[in-house]
Amino acid sequence: TKVGIDAGGTLTKIAYQTNGSIRYQSVPSADMEYTVEWLSSQLDNPDVCVTGGKSELLTKKWQAPAKTMVEFDATTKGIEFLANHQDQALVEPFLFVNVGTGTSIHVVNDGKQERTGGSGIGGGTLMGLAQLTTGIHDYKQIVQLAGNGNRGNVDLKVKDIFEGTLSPISGDLTASNFGKTEKMAAYAPENADILASITGMIGEVIVSITIPTAMQYNVDQMVYIGSSFRMNRLLRETVSKYTIMLEKTPIFLEKGEYSGAVGAMLSI
């Protein structure tokens, strides 16, 4: 069995081929022992290619031979494969933005990627700030609550400042993330509201730092990948709306968080 593994900072993504179809599995990177056990017990005769920041850690535990691959190239290959199979036409140059534990931005031209930037604001930021502000650690619980929160109890919009006066920019834009201090002093926001605002801030930062790169490289399509979008409709919507508002085309691939693993699997 051909197996591609992307061992990331938070999650280890596994893609493998059985009977012509691809299967996907993800496990916490903190438990490499489990990953190695899973590989040897679930898959017969695995032929492994590993990528991602924790590749070394994994290959050390994996006693059999394994190929390794540069993560960014694996991801590019995986994105092209997934887009192709989902009838999603990608026009070069395009950008991909990998929102993992942290965020990494890349431009792809002639099938080759170049990393143009990144940010420490990513999925790990959601987990960390959620933990600090609400004490909640569970990812599913965080995204579910965030989905029901009201950012209006926490974030200051442009129209909140320009009361009655015509503002020079859209009143719906965020003027200040977490800036609604007066309201918050009078009425403490719910955990759901706080989590919605954290999610919104992360989405807005990601788009804001990506747009100048899109302009510089004359790119229209922005492919957003990474497990941070998993089950997280609010993050997806925030990123999507803001990208469209800035006149670029957002693309979310199904199983996009497995791009690196798929690319590694295809390189065997």
Catalytic residue set:
71
Residue 105 Cα distances to 101, 126, 251, angstroms: 13, 18, 14
Residue 151 CB partners (closer than 8 Å, separation 6+) = 193, 196, 197, 200
* Integer Rg of the chain from CA: 20
Per-residue interface string for the shown chain with ligand ATP, residues 105-124, x marking contact by CB under 6 A: ------------------xx
Nearer CB in complex with ligand ATP: 4/8: 8
- Residue from 62, 139, 224, 258 touching ligand ATP (CB under 6 A): that is 139
189 scored as a contact of ligand ATP (CB under 6 A) = no
Nearer CB in complex with ligand ATP: 71/80: 71
- Residue from 46, 100, 189, 263 touching ligand ATP (CB under 6 A): that is 100
230 scored as a contact of ligand ATP (CB under 6 A) = yes
Give me the amino acid identity at 47.
D
263 scored as a contact of Mg ion (CB under 5 A) = no
Nearer CB in complex with ligand ATP: 83/202: 202
- Structure tokens of 194? 């706080």
54-79 CB burial, b ≥16 within 10 A, e <16: bbebbbeebeeebebbebbbbbbbbb
227 scored as a contact of ligand ATP (CB under 6 A) = yes
Q: How far apart are CA 16 and CA 80, in angstroms?
A: 17
Cβ atoms of 267 and 251 closer than 8 Å: no
8 scored as a contact of Mg ion (CB under 5 A) = yes
Minimum CB separation from ligand ATP for residue 202, in Å?
9
**DSSP symbol at 93:** S
Q: Is the dihedral of CA 43, 51, 263, 48 positive or negative?
A: negative
4 scored as a contact of Mg ion (CB under 5 A) = no
Minimum CB separation from ligand ATP for residue 7, in Å?
8
Give me the amino acid identity at 255.
K
Q: How far apart are CA 217 and CA 204, in angstroms?
A: 20
Nearer CB in complex with Mg ion: 10/153: 10
Residue 139 binding: pick among ligand ATP, Mg ion, none (C-beta 5-8 Å cut-off by kind): ligand ATP
Residues of this chain, 74-103, that bind Mg ion according to CB under 5 A: 100
Minimum CB separation from ligand ATP for residue 139, in Å?
4
Give me the amino acid identity at 126.
L
Cβ atoms of 89 and 216 closer than 8 Å: no
List residues near ligand ATP by CB under 6 A: 8-11, 29, 53, 100-102, 123-124, 126-127, 139, 226-228, 230, 257
List residues near Mg ion by CB under 5 A: 8, 100
